């Protein structure tokens, strides 16, 4: 408590010396592995930075969805979200009550994705949500998410995309 109130620089020097001495003691005893601790802190920082960027991309995609009034605008918002969230591809399959199926696919303009680093998920849209918006058949998304860093990041982006689709239902055709 005394060190927090003092203005003398020598007190801070003594504090850091004692802190250094404690670190050396813990290092010698083996309870602190400095390299592992620093590596863990770097990894945690990278994950936090990536999550923050993913959240910002999600919020930008939300704005596109909120402005969608037609199916074409809604599909453009889906494509923009997929681009921002670093998806390898996305497809939406719609089925009318008479059994007619339509599939739309989006792929980024850049190179072919490495399939060994892609997570593929199917995201069905509940029929009640579809019926409430003027459509009668089933809708299902297939999303392929590039694993750039960790599987946790890919799962997080899949969750954010599913949330977008859940919150911003299909605009009627």
1 band by pLDDT with thresholds 50, 70 and 90: very low
In DSSP notation, the chain reads -HHHH---HHHHHHHHHHHHHHHHHHHHHTS--HHHHHHHHHHHHHHHHHHHHHHHHHHHHHHHHHT--SHHHHHHHHHHHHHHTTEEEEEEEEE-TT--EEEEEE--SSPPP-GGGEEEEEEEEPHHHHHTTT--S-EEEEEEEE-SS-HHHHHHHHHHHHHHHHHSPPPP-
pLDDT at residue 161 greater than cutoff 80: yes
CATH code for residues 51-167:
3.30.450.40
pLDDT at 132: 42
Domain boundaries, the chain: 51-167
């Amino acid at each position: 408590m005394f060190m927090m109130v003092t203005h003398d620089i020598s007190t801070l020097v003594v504090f850091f010396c004692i802190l250094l001495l404690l670190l050396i003691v813990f290092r010698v005893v083996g309870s602190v592995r400095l390299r592992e601790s620093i590596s863990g802190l770097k990894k945690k920082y990278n994950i936090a930075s990536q999550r923050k960027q993913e959240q910002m991309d999600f919020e930008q995609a939300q704005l596109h969805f909120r402005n969608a009034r037609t199916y074409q605008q809604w599909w453009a918002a889906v494509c923009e979200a997929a681009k921002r969230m670093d998806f390898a591809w996305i497809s939406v399959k719609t089925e009318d009550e008479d059994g007619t199926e339509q599939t739309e696919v989006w792929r980024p303009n850049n190179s072919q994705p490495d399939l060994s680093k892609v997570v593929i998920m199917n995201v069905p849209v509940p029929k009640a949500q579809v019926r409430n918006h003027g459509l009668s058949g089933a809708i299902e998304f297939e999303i392929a998410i590039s694993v750039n860093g960790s599987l946790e990041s890919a799962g997080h982006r899949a969750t954010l995309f599913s949330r977008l689709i859940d919150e911003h239902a299909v605009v009627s055709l």
